[in-house]
Amino acid sequence: MILLTACNKQEFNQQKTLVPYTAVNTTTNPFDPTFISNTGVGGYTIITGQGYNANGIIVFNLGNNYFLAFDLTCPYIDPEECTASMSVNTSGKMSCDNCANDDISFTQYNTSATVNGQTYSLRQYSAILEGNAVRITNF
């Protein structure tokens, strides 16, 4: 008997962010009807109570069983000064407008911003489809 297994580990290089490392290991079902906005390509789901300071994690469905997950803590403001999570509009555009008076925003395709000459990126987590669930983790 031969047993073959495969693992599709999502690799990424975390860029500079002010969001501290927080252990994350959770799952979400993107096919559950309660997550209607995530059932289609380009949709998203917000997992509350996870990520740094429990600010939440946003999970984007990019299609072809590919997902991206980001912490909803603002990446360019000291988290000690801004404890609120980023706001998210209906299209999934994220901004730090709860703590900053600027026009900087992020999307699943635009994940970094330059502020005062420094580039800051959203804290990204691994998001891998395992059966009917997406596992969100950083280890």
Give residue 104's pLDDT.
Answer: 95
DSSP assignment, residue 98?
T
Using the structure block, give the residue that is written with the tokens 């998001």: 127
pTM, whole model, 2 decimals?
0.87
Percent of the chain with pLDDT over 70: 86
Query: Cβ–Cβ contacts within 10 Å for residue 92, how many?
Result: 20
CB of 40 within 8 A of CB of 92? no
pLDDT in tens, 35-89: 655 567 778 889 999 999 999 999 998 888 899 999 999 999 999 999 999 999 9
State mean pLDDT over 108-137: 94
Q: In what order do the strands lie in the sheet with 94-95?
A: 87-88, 94-95, 105-106
The CATH class for the domain spanning 25-137 reads mainly beta
DSSP assignment, residue 108?
S
